[in-house]
Amino acid sequence: MSLSRFIQRALSEWMRGKGPQSEIVISSRVRIARNLAGMPFPMLATSSQSADVVRRVEEVLRQGDVHPALKGAEMIRMDDLSELEKRVLVEKHLISPQLAEESRYGAVVLSENEAVSIMINEEDHLRIQCLFPGFQPQEAWKLADELDDWFENRLSYAFNEKKGYLTSCPTNVGTGIRASVMVHLPALAMIQQLNRLFPAITQVGLAVRGIYGEGSEALGNLYQVSNQVTLGQREEEIIDKLQGVVRQMIQHEQNARTRLKETSLTQLEDRVHRSFGILSTARVISSKEAMERLSDLRLGIDMGLLTGISANVMNELMVMTQPGFLQQYAHMRLDADERDIRRAVLIRERLSAEEG
């Protein structure tokens, strides 16, 4: 398969789309956790009970009045996927590592443009996720809320008048909402301000995590900022707080970029062009180094230090250079050394295509 066809078939809309503030905000996501009334939570359910949850969701999707965002959607059972295929879905942020690794009776419903993914029998019976490019948490929330209402009109949710929506994890009880924004903060990292910024964010009830959420490593100066509290706050309050904090982060990053341009322009240009040179010519490159160099590349593009290259290159390559994608593109299993070689080849091909 040619690289262009692979990209067209492999990438979700959030990787290719250009949303508001996309020079700093990569994507916005809202996820809603729900459970069905009268059914044990997934961790306690039997195989037949878990299969019944999948069946009930599938029946709802077959009805004629399907929500417009789910027209053409496909349900995929985890048992029907190879380990490699599951890994690719994780790398595209369409399913969680937990659903891929632990949920034997799990499934996912994917919309045609993959802006909507609904995990079934992960930690909860339903996890409705909407993923938008750029800084669009309000838009992601609006669609997730519509889908939640649509399902609630057809399925009976586990709900308590005092506690709200009931979930497997106590931290999700209440609204069951997790809103997150993925941000690219290379300038703040360069001037060593992140250690001052992140504690201030946690003090207002938000969490800062790596690119795959809780427990994941931050690579390429990419971070997920999300709410921690779901009980005692309205959904709109959660979204508004997240938006307000992220706006401040955007301003801090913009100020840091201006400072670098005013005080260290030559050093910044050198760093950007060195990374571009390495990415364009390297024959072997690790995942960690690739992400660091791609972060420099994206910063150079956004600041006008590199021209003729699409800013979406980083969005694409940060996913395409992950282990699952590399092996899917190669059509074979690859060990770590082979992946480092293939990663370098893929990056060179992609950058060459941009120059062409």
Q: How far apart are CA 134 and CA 157, in angstroms?
A: 31
Amino acid in position 270: D
CA-to-CA dists, residue 337 to 87, 171, 247, 264, angstroms: 19, 40, 41, 36
**Are residues 17 and 118 in contact, defined by beta-carbon separation less than 8 angstroms?**
no
Residues tagged in the binding site annotation for ATP: 27-31, 93, 127, 178-182, 209-214
Residues tagged in the binding site annotation: 27-31, 93, 127, 178-182, 209-214
DSSP per-residue string spanning 239-297? HHHHHHHHHHHHHHHHHHHHHHHHH-HHHHHHHHHHHHHHHHH-S---HHHHHHHHHHH
CA-to-CA dists, residue 168 to 41, 93, 98, 117, 128, angstroms: 6, 21, 14, 20, 15
DSSP helix, strand, coil percent of the chain (3-state; round to 5): 50, 15, 35
Q: What's the distance, CA 25 to chain centroid?
A: 12
CA proximity to 223, closest of 180, 275, 262: 180
**CB neighbour list of residue 203: distance below 8 Å, 6 or more residues apart:** none
**Are residues 237 and 177 in contact, defined by beta-carbon separation less than 8 angstroms?**
no
